[in-house]
Amino acid sequence: MSFVVGDTTVTSHWRRIQCNYGTPGVPIGKGPFEPVLMMADLVDYSCAQAMRWWFVALAEYFNKPVDTRIVEHSIAWSCNSEPARTLDEVTSEQVMFPYRSKQDKAQP
């Protein structure tokens, strides 16, 4: 048995609630971790609670009671770099004589 509440199809399996963020919708927090949460497509606890109760109220309106849960997530963040290519090489002579032209170099 399945039915639709808002933008989410409810089945016997747990699934993520689809919800609009911002105006109109559930406001997004302004804490220091919000940019990271947004990149991971997650929300903070208070926002998750708001989404949950909005969803429950909407389901009850359509006489379709639902069970909900909030799932805690861990975010692993890493950053690394690798050399890609050389963009501009400077020789030791260019450092010692930066204003010397190519013609000056050719002359003894």
Q: Name which of 41-45, 79-83, 94-98 the model is least confident about.
A: 94-98
Map residue 21 onto helix, strand or coil: strand
pLDDT tens for each residue of 13-37? 777 777 666 656 666 767 788 888 8
The answer on pLDDT for 40 being more than 80 is yes
Give the mean pLDDT of 3-9.
72
Predicted pLDDT at 66: 86
Residues 6+ apart with CB under 8 A from 58: 5, 6
Six-digit token string for 40? 């991971």
Domain layout of the chain by residue ranges: 3-61
Whether residue 64 has pLDDT greater than 60: yes
